[in-house]
Amino acid sequence: MLHSVSDKAKTIHIETGNMLNMNNIMLKVWQSPVDELVECLKIVAKESPDPPPALDDGLLKIGPLKNNSELANSFDVEDKKDLKINVKVFVTKTDKESLLNAVNGALSSLATDTIDSLVLACPETMTEKSLSCLQELWRVLEDFVDSKKIISVGLSNIDTQLFISLYNWAKVKPSIVQVNLATCCVVPPALQEFSKQNDVQLNTTSDPADILPKDSMKQVIEPQLPFSLVWIFRYQVQVKCRGVLASKGYVVCCQRSL
């Protein structure tokens, strides 16, 4: 647990590093991705100096662990082109800045010019009626696609009607939609039909809408500290055409509450 931070710190990034190198995480059976993430963050927080040194720009970086900082395991991959970088962003607020920060954070943490696919997990607060709010976020992603920093974009945990409305409106169409199949095989028929007709990849995910609930966060950062969660992104690096995972990890961002 992170007990204290310097007054200078405005933002905290906790980086897990490549979790595939953490046997105690990867070889355990987790009930949900939440448990896995929390356990991992606890380990990283525990191993960090207390209080950690803050940086001049107010960014406090915690983790990754020393023996775990290499981005992707080497798989005799000749160059980066053979890797596929997938990112999923979870935001707690629906403002543009948070998403912008998160994507820029992903590009810089992963030291890459391009993310192959980025999926935005819709906050739980979004409903069928949140189109304008989602459009605002989507424009941020479209800009990244325009500047070729993201190749394809998608959405997760989204109401079917909202997805269809956004799809019909969007300049850059979502090419992925993720559904949580807690009970296997029950996909909303309308979504199934729409994605089939429009060649949208209908993928499954085991992520709950809230990947890091407040109660869990309390196990990582001392609840008295005036910081709150803004965004989280998860990256998964795969070796193309070989079905092999080369890296998987999270970056969690908290900001000093005003």
Catalog residues that contact other proteins under the rule CB under 8 A. Answer: 20-24, 26-30, 33, 43, 46-47, 65, 67-68, 73, 75-76, 78, 82, 86, 117, 152, 175-176, 179, 181, 184-185, 187, 192, 195-196, 199-206, 236, 238, 240-246, 248
From the CB of 83, what's the least distance to other proteins, in Å?
A: 11
From the CB of 232, what's the least distance to other proteins, in Å?
A: 16
Token pair for residue 61? 């970086």
Nearer to other proteins, 43 or 126 (CB): 43
From the CB of 257, what's the least distance to other proteins, in Å?
A: 29
Nearer to other proteins, 27 or 111 (CB): 27
Give 25's DSSP letter.
H
Residues 6+ away with beta carbon under 8 Å from 61: 12, 13, 15, 52, 55
From the CB of 50, what's the least distance to other proteins, in Å?
A: 14
Nearer to other proteins, 7 or 78 (CB): 78
Nearer to other proteins, 149 or 234 (CB): 234
Nearer to other proteins, 74 or 224 (CB): 74
Three-class SS state of 32: coil
Backbone angles phi, psi at 142, to 5 degrees: -60, -40
Q: What is the C-alpha to C-alpha distance for residues 80 and 90, in angstroms, rounded to an integer?
A: 26
Q: Helices 160-169 & 189-197, crossing angle to 10 degrees? A: 20
The answer for 37, left when phi > 0, alpha when psi is -120 to 50, beta otherwise, is: alpha
